[in-house]
Amino acid sequence: MADVKKIATRESYGNALVELGKKHDNVVVLDADLAAATKTGVFKKAFPERHIDCGIAEANMVGIGAGLAAAGMVPFVSSFAMFAAGRAFEQVRNSVGYPHLNVKIGATHAGISVGEDGATHQCNEDIALMRTIPGMVVINPADDTEAKAAVQAAYEHDGPVYLRFGRLAAPVIFDPEDYKFEIGKGQVISEGTDVTIIATGLMVGNSIDAAKMLEEKGISAKVINMATIKPLDEELVIAAAKETGKVVTVEEHSVIGGLGSAVCDVLSEKCPTQVLKIGVNDEFGHSGPALDLIAEFGLDAKGIAEKVEAFVK
C-alpha cells in the first residue's frame, strides 16, 4: 500500500476537533500535558481559551470534564489510552458513567503500535475496561475518514463516548465523499463465503490485505469493519456468522475483553459459532518500531492470513 495516503487517527482527532470548535462554542478540549502527542494542539492554536491543559493529572482531568458537562459544555478529555481508560478508570466509571454525563474521551496511543515507548504506554486493555461501563459508547475508528466522522457523531450523541485513536499512520480506506458513519453500525467491506473477518481500528486495513492474500489461496473471506464495539452491531455479526459459518475477529487489543469477546458474547448466546480471536494474547508488549511489533505479534496482513487459513482448514 505504498501509494496509499496514510494519516494517524490521532491527527484526525485533532483536526476534527477544530472543525467542531468552529461550529459549536460549547466544545472544550482538555489535555494532560500531551497536547502535542494527542494532536489537540491544533485545537489549542485555533481556540486557546477553550483548550484546558490540566497538567499531568488525569484523574482530576476526567472529573473536571464531568463538571464541565454537568454545567452544559461538551468536553473532549484527551490523553493516552493507558491513562484515560487505565489510570482514570474509576473516575470515568463514577464521575462520568454513573451520572451519564456528556463527556467524550479521546484516547490516543492505543495498542502496541505505540512502538518504542514500550509496554507501560501500550494499552491493550482499554476497550475491555470501557465497554463494561453501563451507557458508555466505545468507538475504534479505522482511518482518517472514519475517525473524523466518529468525532462528529460523538458530539451529536448525548452521553459518554470513548474514542480510541492510534499513534501510527494508517492507510486511508474510506472516501469521505460517500462514507457515512453511524454509531452502532458495522460495514461490510467485501463479501466472502468461507469465513468472516471482523476487524476494528488499525486492523481493518491489514485485514483487507489479508483477505486478498487468502483469496489467492482459494479462501473467500468476508471482511467487516466494526468501528463501534459498544453498542455492537449484533444483527450484522449474527447474519455474517450464519452466512459463512466461521468468524475471525482482529484487533490491536488484548484478546481478553475486546472486540473478540464482544462478538463471542453475542454469538455464544444467539448463534453459536466457532470464533478465532486474533489480537494481543495474554501478554505485555515491548519496545520496537511499530510496524515490526505488529508483524511480531502476528497482526500484519501476513500474520492474519496465516491464522485465518489454519482456522478455516
Partner 1 sequence: MASLAVTANEIRKSIIKAVHSAKSGHPGGSLSAADIFTYLYFEEMNIDPKNPKDPNRDRFVLSKGHVAPGYYATLAERGYFPKEDLLTLRKIGSHLQGHPCIAHTPGVDMSSGSLGQGISAAVGMALAAKLRGDDYRVYTLLGDGEIQEGQVWEAAMFAGHRKLDNLVVIVDNNGLQIDGNVADVCSPYPIADKFKAFNFNVVEIDGHDFDQIADAFKAARECKGMPTAIIAKTIKGKGVSFMENQASWHGSAPNDEQTAIALKDLEQ
Residue placing its CB nearer to partner 1 in the complex, 72 or 218:
72
Nearer to partner 1, 27 or 223 (CB): 27
Residue 76 CB contacts under 8 Å (≥ 6 apart), including other chains: 17, 27, 28, 29, 30, 40, 104, 105, 106, 151
Q: Is residue 69 at the binding interface for partner 1, with CB under 8 A as the rule?
A: yes
Nearer of residues 64 and 250 to partner 1, judged by Cβ: 64
Tell me if 2 contacts partner 1 by CB under 8 A.
no
**Contact region with partner 1 (CB under 8 A), list: 16-24, 93-101, 175-183, 229-237:** 93-101
- The residues, any chain, with a CB within 8 Å of residue 30's CB and separated by 6 or more, are 52, 53, 54, 61, 64, 65, 68, 75, 76, 77, 78
283 is catalytic: no
Q: How far apart (Å, rounded) are the C-alpha atoms in residues 55 and 31? A: 7
| Residue of 58, 125, 234, 251 marked active site | 58
Binding mask 41-60 vs partner 1 (x if CB under 8 A, - otherwise)? --------xx-x-xx-x-xx
HSE (side-chain half, CA atoms, 13 Å) at 116 = 1
Contact flag: residue 67 with partner 1 (CB under 8 A): yes
Decide: is 135 part of the binding site for partner 1 (CB under 8 A): no
Q: Which of residues 111-130 bind partner 1 (CB under 8 A)?
A: none
**b/e burial code for range 43-64 (CB count within 10 A of at least 16 → b):** bbebbeebbbebeeebbebbbb
**Cα separation of 222 and 244, whole Å?**
8
Site of interaction with partner 1 (CB under 8 A): 28, 49-50, 52, 54-55, 57, 59-60, 62-73, 75, 90-91, 94-95, 98-100
**Residues involved in catalysis:** 58
